[in-house]
Amino acid sequence: MTASLEFWFEFASTYSYLAAARIDALARAAGVAVVWRPFLLGPIFKSQGWNDSPFNIYPAKGRYMWRDMERLCQRLGVPLRRPSQFPRNGLLAARVTLAGGDAEWVPRFVRSAYRANFGEDRDIADAAVVAALLRDAGASPDQVLAQAVTPTVKDRLRAQCERASELGLFGAPSFVTRGELFWGNDRLEDAIAWARGG
């Protein structure tokens, strides 16, 4: 049995960008399979009484986060260009990811959607942008975009968001493995170690 790790991410989440950029190499080196689990933080935040990102609601927290991201992106060697809109709506990108299922292009699409949002200030809620990202990732844009808005995929995302609540998720990125929850890009290494048995 292969060790595995569920990677729960929200396309609007800055720290998920870092985790998405790092997870494949770290997990592969550890022999851990990654299960990509897009979800939406909106419903969870709403249940906490928030109608916006906490980084907008609490300005000191927001100012710190953007500076922290600058430092971390520089170290990781990934681009950061503060999006002109934050948070961006990640609904379409999440549905596209789910429509992809286990397809080989999915991790490439996820990484490039994050880079488009946080490194290139492109609007990932725009179907034309997502189509271009899909093409670059090696998928068929028309086919995937059509599938992404079917009731089946919409229901799957809704179910996935309910599952996120049941698992106790309250932020992103989160990692779930062997009954344990780890929150934040800072816990990725710990989560991978736990997946392997502690």
- Token couple for 196: 């392997």
Nearest residue (CB) to a copy of itself, 138 versus 168: 168
Peptide bond before residue 43 is cis, with ω within 30 degrees of 0? no
Q: Describe the crossing of helices 141-148 and 91-100 by its angle, rounded to 10 degrees.
A: 110
Distances (CA, A) of 120 to 6, 63, 187: 27, 20, 26
Token code pair at residue 93: 């990108």
144 near 134, Cβ under 8 Å?
Answer: yes
- Told to check if 183 binds a copy of itself by CB under 8 A, we report yes
2 interacts with a copy of itself by CB under 8 A:
no
Q: How far is the CB of 122 from a copy of itself (least distance, A)?
A: 29
Say whether residue 5 binds a copy of itself (CB under 8 A). no
Region of 8-16, 26-34, 132-140, 182-190 interacting with a copy of itself (CB under 8 A): 182-190
At 174 the three-state DSSP class reads: strand
- Which residues have CB under 8 Å from 61's CB, separation 6+? 54, 55
Based on the shown chain and the rule CB under 8 A, indicate whether residue 71 belongs to the binding site for a copy of itself.
yes
Quick one: 130 or 169, whose CB is closer to a copy of itself? 169
- In 3D space, the residue among 73, 69, 94, 113 whose CA is nearest the CA of residue 160 turns out to be 94
Q: What share of the chain is helix, strand, coil (3-state, %, to 5)?
A: 60, 10, 30
Residue placing its CB nearer to a copy of itself in the complex, 58 or 105: 58
Q: Which segment (82-90, 118-126, 145-153, 181-189) binds a copy of itself by CB under 8 A? A: 181-189
Cβ at position 79, least distance to a copy of itself in Å: 20
> Mask of contacts with a copy of itself, 30-69, x by CB under 8 A?
------------------x---------x-xx-xx--xx-
Closest approach of a copy of itself to the CB of residue 148, in Å: 29
Which residues of the chain form contacts with a copy of itself (CB under 8 A)?
A: 48, 58, 60-61, 63-64, 67-68, 71, 168-171, 180-184, 186-187, 190
